[in-house]
Amino acid sequence: MTDYLVNMEVTPEVKAFFDPATNTISYVVKDPASDAVAIIDSVMDIEYAAGRITYENADEIIAYVQDNNLKVEWLIETHVHADHLSAAPYIQSKLGGKIGIGENIKVVQDTFGKVFNEGTEFQRDGSQFDKLFKDGDRYQIGEMTASAMHTPGHTPACMVHVMGNVAFVGDTLFMPDSGSARADFPGGDAGVLYDSIQRVLTLPEEMRLFMCHDYGPNGRDIKWETTVGAEKQHNIHVGHGHTRADFIRFRTERDAQLAVPTLIIPSLQVNMRAGEVPKDKDGVPMLKVPLNAL
Ligand SMILES: [Fe+2]
């Protein structure tokens, strides 16, 4: 078992930004000892029917960083999202920082390079990103040391990022009353997801967990923060008393009923390129729609 860096004495400042169009929560997380920050899972806006991309969400984060004189060191993608487009390159162009994702991005690029029939010019080695995290990798945000935990199952490249007494779980977990994310995308695996969640739940009970998504089940308000202890006790899919076999059965049945995410086609093409929009042979920004391939 890899030794993740847990330092419950370090309390980073976490600012959340909720995108109601995709139910995504992006974060600016600040080292308590300096002005250094990481931005987690930013969102680029798209009006897909019109083929129009805009930056309202990203500009809000940029304004927050500038207004508070913060220094962006990292732009972290917890995984290749299938439901929204990353704004990491746009924010990087304004504020700097390194774009990082799990090293299994190579697997995701290989899978979807085929789905989208990308030519040999599409590199499948993760080189579009500035940093590929391995399980247990440590990195600095100012004076704060963060670490990356590989948590496959939802996708092969999923990572949870632990920073002091908080962790950003991506889609590895949802709020306790929402359970877990689907595991039926190419490269997903319900049993592997269950095992990854169990690893997350070995973190200290008081550790604060921040979600990438929340959909406000049963009419409750949107929430994005919980704790390891609350997930262990109350998570409706993996909490107290749910076995691995139960989880696999439930998850498989549930996933078979879920619709394909509305933005999966633009999201994958952009996010597997670290948030860059693909271009056609003449250099014009262009997206494809592969037929009967997903
Ligand atoms: Fe996801």
**pLDDT tens-digit profile of 176-198?**
999 999 999 999 999 999 999 99
Tens of pLDDT along 207-241?
999 999 999 999 999 999 999 999 999 999 998 88
Cα 172 to ligand 1 centroid, rounded to whole Å: 8
Cα first-last separation, the chain: 35
The values of phi and psi at residue 4, to 5°, are -80, 145
What is the longest distance spanned by two Cα atoms in the chain? 57
Q: List, edge to edge, every strand of the sheet that includes 138-141.
A: 138-141, 144-150, 159-163, 166-170, 208-211, 225-227
78 CA to centre of ligand 1 in angstroms: 8
In tens, the pLDDT along 26-77 reads 999 999 999 999 999 999 999 999 999 999 999 999 999 999 999 999 999 9
Cα 82 to averaged position of ligand 1 atoms, centre (Å): 6
CA of 33 to the centre of ligand 1 (A): 31
Query: What is the whole-number distance in angstroms between the Cα of residue 133 and the centre of ligand 1?
Result: 17
State the pLDDT at residue 32: 98
Dist. CA 163 → ligand 1 center (Å): 21
Per the DSSP assignment, residues forming a β-bridge with 115 are none
Contact 261, 75 (CB under 8 A): no
CA distance readout (Å), 217 to 127, 178, 179, 226, 260: 38, 7, 11, 15, 19
Instruction: Please give the structure tokens belonging to residue 142.
Output: 């100012």
What's residue 3's pLDDT? 66
Q: How far is the CA of 193 from the centre of ligand 1 (A)?
A: 12
Q: Which pLDDT value is given to residue 93?
A: 98
pLDDT at 1 over 60: no
pLDDT above 80: residue 90: yes
pLDDT at residue 5 in the model: 84
List the structure tokens of 200: 């997350």
pLDDT over threshold 80, residue 165: yes
pLDDT digits (tens, 9 = 90+) for 98-146: 999 999 999 999 999 999 999 888 999 999 999 999 999 999 999 999 9
Query: What's the CA gap between 188 and 100, in Å, rounded?
Result: 21
pLDDT score recorded for residue 271: 98
Give the residue extent of every domain in the chain: 13-271
Q: Give backbone dihedrals phi and psi of 82, rounded to 5 degrees, phi first.
A: -110, 5
CATH class belonging to 13-271: alpha beta
Distance 200 CA to ligand 1 centre (A): 17
Q: How far is the CA of 34 from the centre of ligand 1 (A)?
A: 31
In angstroms, what is the span from residue 9 Cα to ligand 1's centroid? 30
| H-run or E-run covering 106 | helix 105-115
Q: Give percent of the chain with pLDDT exceeding 70.
A: 99
Mean pLDDT rounded to a whole number for the chain: 96
HSE on the CB side for 217, CA within 13 Å?
10
pLDDT digits (tens, 9 = 90+) for 226-279: 999 999 999 999 988 899 999 999 999 999 999 999 999 999 999 999 999 999
What's the CA-to-centroid distance between 182 and ligand 1, angstroms? Answer: 8
